Structures are given as C-alpha cells and as structure tokens.
Amino acid sequence: MALLEVRELGVAFSGHRRGARETVAVDGVSFDVEPGQVVGLVGESGCGKSVTALAVMGLLPRRGVRVSGRAVFDGTDLLALPEPEMRDRRGCDLSMVFQDPLSALNPVVPIGIQVTEVLRRHRSMSAGAAREEAVALLNRVGIPDPARRLREYPHQLSGGMRQRALIAIALACRPRLLIADEPTTALDVTIQAQILALLAELVADTETALIMITHDLGVVAGLCDQVNVLYGGRVVERSERRELFATPRHPYTHGLLGSIPRLDAAPGGRLDAIKGSVADNLPWAHACAFAPRCERVLDSCREVTPPVERGGEDRLLRCHNPVPAS
C-alpha cells in the first residue's frame, strides 16, 4: 500500500474582494508515494508545486482557500484532520524543508534550541538526551563542530549550513515522509550538489520517502524514482525517471529537457527555451492549458481538454499529440 495517496487534489484561492474570480492553483492532481520512494514534482514557477505541498501538510490558510480531494497518509485523510491532530503529525510523521532556510528558521532562537524543541515535543526526550541527539543530527547532516554550532543563531551560519540545519530539524522526528520544496534554489551550484547528495543519502539510509519539488529537471535526474510533470495545476506526464529522460512524450516535458545544458552537446549549441510563459495558459476546462506555447499544437488542443491516458504501468500522459515514442 502507498504511504501517501493524493487523489484529485484541488486548491482554489478566492479573491478577497467581493465578486473577484477564483484562482485555481491545483486542479485534480493525483499521485502516490510508496514507503522509501523519491517522487519528483516538476514544473515552471507558478504551476502549483508549492500549493500541492502546503495542502498535503495542512499549511494553507483556512480562509479564502477551497481545498478538495484527498491526501491519504497511512490510511488517514490528512485533508479531513482537525488542526490539532494535523499539528501532531506535522514535524513528526511528515515534515518539510523549504526553499529559503533563513526565513524558515527562527532568527532569534539558537539553532540548538530549534532542534531540541522538536526532539522534546515529538520524541519526548529529556533536555540532556535531546542535546546529545541534536549534536548527532548536526553531525549527520555534515555540519562541522556541531556542539559549537548549536549555540549559534541562524544569521551566523552560511546559506548551505542553514539548509543543513533545516534538514536536521526536519529529520529530528524521524518522519516517514519528507517534502523538500526547492531546497537548493537559494544556494550556490556546488553547495546545491552537496545538499542533493545529502538528501539522497539520508532517504536511502532511513527509508524516509521524499517528495522533491523543483523547477529543475537536472535536480530530478539524480534523485527521483518517479517524476510528475505539472503544468497549469495539473499533472501532464508521469513516468519512472529513466523512461522520462529517455522518451519524454509530453511536448512540455520535451521542452523542459531541451532547456537543460548537456555535457555531451556540441560546443556553441543553443539551449532550446520553451517559448511564452505560464501566463499564456488556456483554461483546462475546454482546452489544453499548454496549447498556446506548444510546438505540436492541433486545433483540437484549443477546444477539447486532453484526458489522462495510461501508457504503461507507471506512465501517465495528458496530450492530444504526444511526441512519438521512438
């Protein structure tokens, strides 16, 4: 059985002004996460990745937001849980690492207290045991001289060290599911690679499942077992990672892959950007949202919503005119 089953998740923001139109941020998103599996959610900025994660974590504001569908974690629908019960699960069964470690850490509380707080609350440790475990955790995520670092404030750490500290906090309660939302976007390239390697190692060692959220297919390449490509709040393609890179079928996935630099490309070759922006979307209700930007667009794409089709056991595709398989 899947650890997390997201089914037909929908999130709409209502405007605060009266009569303002709703913004549909996520629209019928379904995916599974098996224990220990690494699942990618990939797509350009604004396609609904963070909103999906926040909905699953119960972190969306209650007012002005309409959430539908189910997110069944180990048999319990998280979307139906009252807030106090959800709070117990957050930072315990499920935890999250955000893009910007500086704003996710409390600036006026030393790192050590932020780690031991989780240990004392969720693992009921004594002060002494929590301190010992905090040192071990910082050590585990590659923070040198952890005993000294525990006394420091977030601003005293570099960006990479802050992200490591945040990962330590997220792992403190031994979650069964970790959601990482663009965890390396704010970091230098070399530090990015280190953090990704660390995440890969931690999930492999601890059997924690990971949802990896990124706009960068390059990040997904080394880490994910399965990849969901999102466009305009919907999954447009899902595939096992190797298959996705070998034979991307959706023109959007194809375009994303074409815009990654490759070491084996001819020197001086150009990267193919996908033309247009997410703002050019058509409504999913009676079209393919990607049609205005698509190089394979047909008349039907502007008139009929493409249905989700299965192309093999773990493969989904939502497209009227996919890229041929070979």
Give the footprint of ligand ADP on this chain (CB under 6 A).
13, 23, 25, 43, 45-51
Task: Pick the piece of the chain touching Mg ion (CB under 5 A) from 50-58, 72-80, 127-135, 296-304.
Answer: 50-58
Between residues 10 and 46, which has the closer beta carbon with respect to ligand ADP? 46
Q: What gap in Å lies between CA 232 and CA 169, rounded to an integer?
A: 32
Least distance between ligand ADP and beta carbon 308 (Å): 20
Between residues 49 and 162, which has the closer beta carbon with respect to ligand ADP? 49
Q: Could you give phi then psi for residue 228, rounded to 5 degrees?
A: -110, 125
Least distance between Mg ion and beta carbon 19 (Å): 28
Between residues 65 and 92, which has the closer beta carbon with respect to ligand ADP? 65
Return the residue of 50, 95, 281, 305 that touches Mg ion, per CB under 5 A: 50
Between residues 50 and 305, which has the closer beta carbon with respect to Mg ion? 50
Between residues 156 and 277, which has the closer beta carbon with respect to ligand ADP? 277
Closest C-alpha among 9, 190, 165 to residue 98: 165
Least distance between ligand ADP and beta carbon 278 (Å): 7
Size of the site for Mg ion (CB under 5 A): 1
Packing angle, helices 127-140 and 159-171, rounded to 10: 130
Q: Which does 163 bind (CB under 5 to 8 A by kind): ligand ADP, Mg ion, none?
A: none
Between residues 74 and 100, which has the closer beta carbon with respect to Mg ion? 100
Least distance between ligand ADP and beta carbon 14 (Å): 9
Q: What gap in Å lies between CA 174 and CA 35, rounded to an integer?
A: 13
Task: Pick the piece of the chain touching Mg ion (CB under 5 A) from 42-50, 68-76, 159-167, 233-241.
Answer: 42-50
Between residues 47 and 180, which has the closer beta carbon with respect to ligand ADP? 47
Show contacts with Mg ion in window 178-237 (CB under 5 A): none
Least distance between Mg ion and beta carbon 164 (Å): 21
Dihedral of CA 206/207/211/217: which sign?
positive
Least distance between ligand ADP and beta carbon 293 (Å): 16
Q: Which does 140 bind (CB under 5 to 8 A by kind): ligand ADP, Mg ion, none?
A: none
Between residues 50 and 114, which has the closer beta carbon with respect to Mg ion? 50
Which residue shows structure tokens 């041929």?
324
Task: Pick the piece of the chain touching Mg ion (CB under 5 A) from 2-10, 45-53, 59-67, 277-285.
Answer: 45-53
The verdict on 52 binding Mg ion (CB under 5 A) reads no
Point out which residues bind Mg ion (CB under 5 A).
50
